[in-house]
Chain A
Amino acid sequence: MKKRGKVVSFIEDLKNGATDPYAYVERALEEASRKDPVLNIFITMKSEVPDKLVNGKLAGVPIAVKDNIVTKGLRTTCASRILENFVPQYSATIVKILEREGAVIIGKTNMDEFAMGALGTTSAFGPTLNPINTKLSPGGSSSGSAAAVASGVVDLALGSDTGGSIRLPAAWTGIFGLKPTYGAVSRFGLISYADSMDQIGPMSSNASDLAYLFSIISSFDPLDPTSSHNPWGNRIEEIASKEPDFDLLRKLKLKIPRELLNHPQAEEYVIEEFWRKISTLEKEGAQVEEISEPILLKVPQVYYVIAFSEASSNLARFDGVRYGSRIAELEDNDWDSYYMMNRSLFGWEVKRRIMLGAFILSKGYYEMYYSLALKARAVIKRKIESHLKDGSLIATPGSLISPLPINYDATDLSKLNAIDAPLMIANLGGFPALTVPTGSVSGTPTSMQFVGPSWSEDKLLSLAKVMEEMFT
């Protein structure tokens, strides 16, 4: 029996007059009010069904939006005390697209503060719990968006992915997540963490709806200086509605970086499960090749130098002068102490990254760290491109370790490095990357990640549909 997208089906039914236009949203709001108190999915939640629905490709479809995407008139906090009461005066391009197509944003989802974290635990509004097991982290930083989908509140959510923030929570909650090619989705209105890597992407309960949402949100935006025109025409939308294309497997070439699978922190059962799924794909005709790229183990270091530097600059604007919370009184302070007091509202992880970034960019250290990281980034990108140019995809487990407990001590970086290494490749290179669920082992979800060359989302999403049919 072929799986159909839930959103895709709803829109079809709506066209045929076979469903109540409000039914989907009403059910989502109801689910949200039941699940949120347990899981802490949303920072700001809507409770009322809109009076009027806009007719469009997403008419009446509920969607959850990560709280680092600005929404006019709807509080946007980045899960930070410093933006606790920030109500934007404008909407992100992507929000305008959703609204134009009739989607109903039912709430702004919890996340790691300013998207900095892998567990969803740096939020100033408390952690989101994993719907599969509330003792576990759902993964971050798009923790709330993943939980909203995995708990069945919505079938669609928007996350952002700077270093794996869509794909890790997708892997840990057993859903689909896509980090698009850099420039495929407008960043205008996404509160910057690291501009050169930030990218908004879709998260969904199923492959068809993932493709469907992506077909809608990927478009050139003149307001985003790094936005590009995509090359697909309506190919992505067709993937969403078409039958899975099993022929794809016979043309599929997968490359598997040995160093990542041999990572000292990788869990054995994860690796075994990964190879089992690979051999299934091989039996269906896929070619599989192991490759060796020792530099991939340095990916997190390179990523952090660049991301922290950009973050230290991007977050300089939060000072309490024009917007956001202020705890310093203007009358009692000079500017320096005013800034210092207000900026103490940042959480620990954010402060750590700002300080390290400011250090890296400062005189004498720039050449030592930042320049070198940029060079390493270029080398990594070139190497990956050379592996992908024959039409291959890189395949890795979605996560080398199983979901960490919600009370995991985030200052222990060893395990976090194992999480980061496979995921950050795509961000450093600007490549698209997809995480698909592949079932579970004793209740813990398993998953695979595929990285393709830029603008290969059509291929990745077609593969997602095939994998969905095979493994779930």
Chain B
Amino acid sequence: MSSEKIIIGLEIHVQLTSLKTKLFCNCSSNYRDMPPNTNVCPICLGLPGSLPVVNKEAVKKALLVALALNMKISNRVSWARKHYFYPDLPKNYQITQYEGKGVASIAREGYLEYYVDGNLKKARIRRINLEEDPGKIIYHTGSMLTSKYSLIDYNRSGVALLEIVTEPDFSSPKEVIAFLQELRSVLEYLEVADFNLEGSMRVDVNISIEGGSRVEVKNIGSISEIEAAILYEVARQRSLREKGIKIEMETRHWDQERKATVGTRTKETEEDYRYFPDPNLPPVEIEMDYLEGIAKEMPELPNAKRERLIKEYGLSSYLSYVITSNKKLAEYFEEVMKYTKIDGEKAAALIVNDLVGWIGQERIKDIGKLVPPAEMANLLELLRKGDISIKIAKETIPELVSGRKTTEVLLSRGWLGRISGKELDEIVERVMRENEKAVEDALRNPKAIQFLIGKVMEVTNKKADPKETYELIVKKIGELQKRTWSN
């Protein structure tokens, strides 16, 4: 992107998927994979006569998030109604929180620190609100424009959403993505949300370029789509400006199929949602004792853990960042380290690059079940003692992932034990003698050394240390070169 200023603010909607029930009724908050309109009751269908009762756990989770985001917490929990007519909204108003009119957001004015390319950044959080999720409109063709009819599934209606509104503190998609990743890991650490679930996070992005009005792109479902939407929108706004067309304030939708933002047909006038305090839900005081109790339950957050892992295990800041970006992974790492004295950075590198590489990001949540920490520690401990080479350690990992045990793999492959020193020196000598052609190549082109290393590995059944082998060969080639010189 050019140096011109882009201003981006976010409204993030996170489903509190860890809750058992919806925000105002006892229907399950896990509506996924249920037949349409089976996870409903008079309350979340807004049937005449029904009344909402606040899920206290939801309030607790929101307060936990408020504390983690360094926010000023309101002294009362209060609720407002936001009115608009839409068929996915059963009461034609949404119970939410609002700043003003005698009600308040549950918390405001906080911040979250995050890293972009190793630089610490800070994004201000304007406020967080609890609110109810609407139902879901299903278009049979997948698009509003081409469908003749729409179906409504209210299973999602009433699920607790946490709306997190930032200040317009971002100036590139890179910052937005780094921030969202950090926010996600904080929320995962707090165990309020599971982002593996489809649709559990939706983001509205407000984007403006210099000299233009703010354009809101609504309802983007994944981090990669957010990046694409910002890039598209910035390009669109620039091209408008170049053509001398004024950039109007408007709301656009992100069309996932076409990878483009699409204007809504109605012209944006400032909508009047007629907010007012919900007369069914009088404000409830937040007691200091209660808040202190919640603060005590606060787990260690990613940033604190990151610092601690660097200090305690000597991790590089990069690996510490990667490890802590996922709570389960960080817990796994620390569990493994209980059983081995290996250098932390070495262990982290093998876990991040090899173990995670084999199991895949989406299975990190089951990492401890796939490869028990003690099994991984066993492998690392053998590596530390020099009983196996790094090459063997790396090749053992996929076997562990498929359910085998460290010693079983090493024994059956004959990998236990390491060849080095005089023994390795003799083998290298022999391999060089038997591969004169390769040695000649290596004399001309250092890259050809790889072939010789491969041969040594073959002969030693990978028990040679690749680094030591490499150094030995380089040394011997060097000696040969000197001899050629002196001739």
Query: Chain A residues in contact with chain B, CB under 8 A?
Result: 69-70, 76, 78, 83, 86, 88-90, 92, 187-192, 194-196, 222-226, 309-310, 312-313, 316-319, 321-323, 330-331, 335-336, 339, 358, 361-363, 366, 370-371, 374
- Bound-state CA distance A370–B81 (Å) is 14
Q: Is the CB of B149 within 8 A of A330?
A: yes
B residues within 8 A CB of A70?
47-49
A residues within 8 A CB of B91?
316-317
- Bound-state CA distance A92–B48 (Å) is 10
A225-B282, A317-B90, A330-B149 known; 6 new pairs, CB 8 Å cut-off, are A88-B48, A90-B42, A90-B47, A192-B49, A223-B53, A225-B280
B residues within 8 A CB of A225?
51-54, 280-282
Q: Is the CB of A374 within 8 A of B47?
A: no
Q: Is the CB of A76 within 8 A of B48?
A: yes
Q: Is B423 an interface residue (CB 8 A)?
A: no
Q: Is the CB of A313 within 8 A of B276?
A: yes
- Bound-state CA distance A76–B379 (Å) is 71
For B148, give the chain A residue with the smallest CB separation: A331
Q: Is the CB of A363 within 8 A of B272?
A: yes
A residues within 8 A CB of B47?
70, 88-90, 322-323
Contact flag A316-B53 (CB < 8 Å), given A322-B45, A362-B272: no
B residues within 8 A CB of A313?
81, 83, 93, 274, 276
Q: Is the CB of B85 within 8 A of A358?
A: no
Contact flag A188-B85 (CB < 8 Å), given A317-B91, A330-B149: no
- Bound-state CA distance A58–B402 (Å) is 69
- Bound-state CA distance A81–B280 (Å) is 26
Selected from B92, B281, B282, the residue in CB contact (under 8 A) with A316 is: B92
Q: Is the CB of B280 within 8 A of A226?
A: yes
A residues within 8 A CB of B83?
313, 316, 361
B residues within 8 A CB of A309?
276
Among B242-282, those with CB < 8 Å from A are 272, 274-276, 279-282
Q: Is B50 an interface residue (CB 8 A)?
A: yes
Contact flag A335-B53 (CB < 8 Å), given A313-B276, A317-B46: no
Give min CB distance, A345 to chain B, whole Å.
14
Contact flag A370-B49 (CB < 8 Å), given A89-B42, A319-B85, A330-B149: no
- Can you spell out 28 A-B residue pairs with CB atoms less than 8 angstroms apart? A70-B47, A70-B48, A70-B49, A76-B48, A88-B48, A90-B47, A188-B51, A192-B48, A195-B280, A225-B51, A225-B54, A225-B281, A225-B282, A309-B276, A313-B83, A319-B85, A321-B87, A322-B45, A323-B47, A330-B149, A335-B86, A335-B87, A358-B274, A361-B275, A361-B276, A363-B272, A371-B102, A374-B102
Q: Is the CB of A195 within 8 A of B279?
A: yes
- Bound-state CA distance A76–B47 (Å) is 12
Q: Is B101 an interface residue (CB 8 A)?
A: yes
Q: Is the CB of B274 within 8 A of A335?
A: no
For B37, give the chain A residue with the smallest CB separation: A322
- As a 0/1 sequence over residues 116 to 150 of chain B, the CB contacts with chain A under 8 angstroms (1 = contact) are 00000000000000000000000000000000010
Contact flag A316-B93 (CB < 8 Å), given A69-B49, A188-B49, A225-B54: yes
B residues within 8 A CB of A362?
272, 274
- Bound-state CA distance A336–B81 (Å) is 20
A residues within 8 A CB of B275?
361
- Bound-state CA distance A129–B54 (Å) is 42
Q: Is the CB of A222 within 8 A of B274?
A: no
Give min CB distance, B274 to chain A, whole Å.
4
Among B192-243, those with CB < 8 Å from A are none
Q: Is the CB of B48 within 8 A of A191?
A: yes
Selected from B45, B46, B49, the residue in CB contact (under 8 A) with A190 is: B49
A residues within 8 A CB of B48?
70, 76, 78, 83, 86, 88, 191-192, 317-318, 323
A residues within 8 A CB of B281?
225
In the complex, the number of residue pairs spanning A and B with C-beta atoms less than 8 Å apart equals: 100
For B54, give the chain A residue with the smallest CB separation: A225
Q: Is the CB of B49 within 8 A of A189?
A: yes
- Looking at B42, B87, B276, B282, the one whose CB has the most chain A CB atoms below 10 A away is B276
Q: Is the CB of A319 within 8 A of B276?
A: no
- Bound-state CA distance A363–B100 (Å) is 13
- Bound-state CA distance A83–B87 (Å) is 18
Among B18-60, those with CB < 8 Å from A are 42, 45-54
Give min CB distance, B107 to chain A, whole Å.
22
Among B43-81, those with CB < 8 Å from A are 45-54, 81
Give min CB distance, B62 to chain A, whole Å.
18
- Bound-state CA distance A361–B275 (Å) is 7
A residues within 8 A CB of B81?
313
B residues within 8 A CB of A83?
48
- Bound-state CA distance A310–B279 (Å) is 8
- Bound-state CA distance A316–B54 (Å) is 21
Contact flag A191-B49 (CB < 8 Å), given A225-B280, A321-B87, A335-B87: yes
- Bound-state CA distance A83–B54 (Å) is 28
Give min CB distance, B79 to chain A, whole Å.
10
B residues within 8 A CB of A189?
49-50
Selected from A86, A222, A330, A371, the residue in CB contact (under 8 A) with B53 is: A222
Q: Is the CB of B276 within 8 A of A187?
A: no
Selected from B51, B87, B272, B274, the residue in CB contact (under 8 A) with A223 is: B51
- Bound-state CA distance A251–B284 (Å) is 37
For A76, give the chain B residue with the smallest CB separation: B48
- Bound-state CA distance A86–B42 (Å) is 14
- Bound-state CA distance A442–B54 (Å) is 54
Q: Which 3 A-B pairs have the closest CB atoms?
A: A316-B92, A196-B279, A361-B274
For A336, give the chain B residue with the smallest CB separation: B85
- Bound-state CA distance A416–B45 (Å) is 36
- Looking at B47, B54, B282, the one whose CB has the most chain A CB atoms below 10 A away is B47
B residues within 8 A CB of A319?
85, 87, 92
Contact flag A92-B85 (CB < 8 Å), given A225-B280, A358-B274, A361-B274: no
B residues within 8 A CB of A322?
45-47, 90
B residues within 8 A CB of A92?
49
- Bound-state CA distance A362–B101 (Å) is 12
B residues within 8 A CB of A188?
49-51
- As a 0/1 sequence over residues 381 to 392 of chain B, the CB contacts with chain A under 8 angstroms (1 = contact) are 000000000000
Give min CB distance, A93 to chain B, whole Å.
10
- Looking at A224, A225, A321, A330, the one whose CB has the most chain B CB atoms below 10 A away is A225
B residues within 8 A CB of A86?
48
Contact flag A366-B279 (CB < 8 Å), given A191-B49, A316-B91, A317-B48: no
A residues within 8 A CB of B152?
321
- Bound-state CA distance A371–B280 (Å) is 17
- Bound-state CA distance A363–B279 (Å) is 19
- Bound-state CA distance A271–B43 (Å) is 47
Selected from B54, B85, B90, B93, the residue in CB contact (under 8 A) with A339 is: B85
- Bound-state CA distance A361–B91 (Å) is 17
A residues within 8 A CB of B87?
319, 321, 335
For B53, give the chain A residue with the smallest CB separation: A225
- Bound-state CA distance A92–B54 (Å) is 19
- Bound-state CA distance A83–B45 (Å) is 16
- Bound-state CA distance A293–B279 (Å) is 27
Give min CB distance, A420 to chain B, whole Å.
20
Contact flag A366-B49 (CB < 8 Å), given A225-B281, A316-B85, A374-B102: no
Selected from A330, A335, A363, the residue in CB contact (under 8 A) with B85 is: A335
- Bound-state CA distance A330–B91 (Å) is 19
Give min CB distance, B459 to chain A, whole Å.
76
- Bound-state CA distance A309–B272 (Å) is 15
Q: Is the CB of B101 within 8 A of A187?
A: no
- Looking at B46, B280, B282, the one whose CB has the most chain A CB atoms below 10 A away is B280
Q: Is the CB of A226 within 8 A of B282?
A: yes
A residues within 8 A CB of B149?
330-331
- Bound-state CA distance A366–B272 (Å) is 11
For A187, give the chain B residue with the smallest CB separation: B51
Q: Is the CB of B276 within 8 A of A370?
A: yes
For A357, give the chain B residue with the smallest CB separation: B274
For B88, give the chain A residue with the smallest CB separation: A321
